[in-house]
A and B are shown apart, each in its own frame.
Chain A
Amino acid sequence: MTVALINASPKVKGSSSGILLNDLKECLGNKVDVEEICLRTSKITAEIIEKLKKADTWVVAFPLYVDSLPSHLLACLKQLEKMTWKKPNLNIYGIANCGFYEGNQAEPALNVLKNWCAKAGCAYKGSLGIGGGGAIAVSGNMSGKNSLRANIYKAMKKFADRIVKKEGEANKYATVAFPRFIYKIAAQNSWRKMIKANGGKTKDLNKRLDVELTDTSVNKRIVYEQ
């Protein structure tokens, strides 16, 4: 059995989707063969197709963007929907990671993947919706078992078992192993560090571009149709 682990984050490195797929790969162990694939752009290349052809199960991992899938992944799914080389009864699982603490905020996005399966003739087998994506991204060097991903890792182990057995189940949700208020504070601190590292000030974080519009040089750049 070959499982394609598809990282659909647009990030070149350090994506939460990649970290979660590494955890899944560890949980799958040597029970299956794995093909690792990155979908970072809107085009499915011949090389990606060759890898996908080998797999009888795909796991699509993606970040939640504006309650849905990233735009490039939607473009890729459209191309894949019509491709006839897909194995019959191809099993599809998803992993969605949200910047929000609650993993279940990814449910509508996972339903998009489910709806794609119905159109593409694939078997949707359920997904994991993961909360606390921002913390996952900074935990890549830690082992999933004992780190702030511990709860997620537990869910991932069960998820891996289902994949190996080709079992379907309702979507499951998990989040990072610390309280929501700490996640909220940590996020606030990280934005403040980032803006300062980029040469800005904390107050810039809530900058409004419409206030700039009183500056006529900026106004010239904004042209509205009547």
Chain B
Amino acid sequence: MKLIVTDIEDFDFKIEGEHKVINPQGNIKHCIGCFGCWAKTPGECVIHDGYERTSLDMGLCDEMIIVSECYYGTVSPFVKAAQDRAISYVQGDFIIKNGEMHHKHRYPNTIKLSAHFYGEDITEDEKKTAKDIIEGNAENFHGEFNGVYFYKSKDELKGLKL
């Protein structure tokens, strides 16, 4: 299953195969750092606004594709809120991998993670930061980095096949 997380409300891109799209449907609440999704209702965010089980969607997908406006080299607040609310894709416990601390895996899948960033004036520094962050996400999800792509506008995304 492909999981698409995007801030585009009227998202109508062509997507091949089984998929799920997470996009703005009403207001998403932001993570409050309570750790409830690790130590109260493991795997599920304690805020019930329709986005509390995104970590399960991540656990069921083999590919995750982010389509987001670029905010200074990272994703937009909607996409970030969805990501922050889904940290229970991994567990609170730590492991050491390649000499660095990371969270332990909860699900057995391996996510191929890519991101498509759009924005009028994405700078070279922002592109580098975006790549570093998506690579970092892939590492922290115990997944595989599958590229970052940049577009000058939302219109330029048209025709994108996911």
Contacts and interface: CB of A to CB of B under 8 A. Distances in A.
Contact of B39 (A71, A107, A194): A194
Contact of A115 (B73, B93, B107): B73
B8 interface: no
* A contact patch SS: helix
Contacts, number: 170
Contacts of B157: none
Given A10-B31, A108-B132, A208-B107, A66 B93 contact: no
A184 to B, nearest CB: 5
B5 to A, nearest CB: 12
B145 interface: no
A183 B77 CA distance: 31
Interface in A171-226: 180, 183-184, 187-188, 191, 194-195, 198, 200, 204-210, 222, 224-226
A226 B1 CA distance: 10
A70 B43 contact: no
B74 A208 contact: no
Contact of B72 (A70, A77, A200): A77
B152 interface: no
B35 to A, nearest CB: 7
A165 interface: no
Contacts of A225: 19-21
Interface string A141-179: 000000000000000000000000000000000000000
* B contact patch SS: mixed
Interface residues of B, number: 56
B44 A209 contact: yes
Given A108-B129, A205-B93, A10 B32 contact: yes
A112 B30 contact: no
B32 A184 contact: no
Given A102-B100, A105-B100, A70 B39 contact: no
Interface string B1-37: 1000000000000000011110000000011111100
A194 B38 CA distance: 9
B75 interface: yes
Interface string B56-86: 1001100000000001111111101101100
B8 to A, nearest CB: 15
Contacts of A138: none
**8 A-B pairs with least C-beta separation:** A194-B39, A71-B80, A67-B136, A71-B81, A115-B72, A75-B77, A108-B132, A209-B56
Given A67-B136, A225-B19, 6 more contacts: A66-B83, A66-B87, A72-B77, A115-B125, A204-B42, A222-B53
